[in-house]
Amino acid sequence: MYLFVNGFLLGLLVVLSIIAAVRPVDLTIVPRKEFYPSMVQSSGILCLLLVGGTLISGTRLPEIGLTFFVPSGPVWYATIGLIVLLCFVLLLTATVPAFRKRLLPLYQSEAERLILPRTKEERTGFQMVALMAGVTEELIYRGFLFHTLGLFLPFSEVSFVWIGAILFGIAHRYQGWFAILVTGLIGAGFGYLYLALETLWPLIIIHVLIDLVAVYIYKDDVNS
């Protein structure tokens, strides 16, 4: 029963990721004020289903990265440095218009111009998206996925990094074809970091911080 439940949940994730790639959300017709709550709701439901399902079936919390020890070693120190750097970047982006202007060229895809918030109300909505995405996507595409792949595939954990990266990338197809490559590579980086640290909480913090930086990119463009 354990393998059946987890095999079903794994298959569900693969199918939903493919559907997201084949039938992406049309951002040109969905207003931001509607898109943000739908993203929070859908990611929360999917995470609850997959992670809750595998836990109910008998999976232990450490098996999906839900351990709360403090790692050590060079990778951990580099991770701490990255978190501090991202906090500094977030602070500058939120408070310094000139710094936002320097970052703006990095957020010029059509999807980013459509998705990213302009008004204070929209920024509040996108902050919820950033927090939910950081938690749920790491739980799903690193914790849950690596564990369930290990139940069925006799491959190395490195192969799980790239399988997860591919699924993570195609799940972001709504952001454009190029986003599949970019988010896939970011997902691979998160995957390798997960293997090194053996816990998800530092990844969740990094993921949330990266998404929160985007909250303020278009702060000065209130008319788009």
| Token representation of residue 154 | 């006799």
Q: Going residue by residue through the chain (224 aa), what tens digit of pLDDT does each one get?
A: 899 999 999 999 999 988 888 888 888 888 998 999 999 999 999 999 999 999 999 999 999 999 988 788 899 999 999 999 999 999 999 999 999 999 999 998 888 999 999 999 999 999 999 999 999 999 999 999 999 999 999 889 999 999 999 999 998 888 888 889 999 999 999 999 999 999 999 999 999 999 999 999 998 876 54
Angle in degrees, CA 80, 204, 181, rounded to 5: 100
CB 79 within 8 A of CB 202: yes
Q: Residue 176: its pLDDT value, please?
A: 83
C-alpha to C-alpha distance for 39 and 128, rounded to whole angstroms:
9
pTM: 0.93
Helices then strands, counting H and E runs in the chain, come out as 10, 0
Domain-by-domain residue ranges, the chain?
A: 2-215
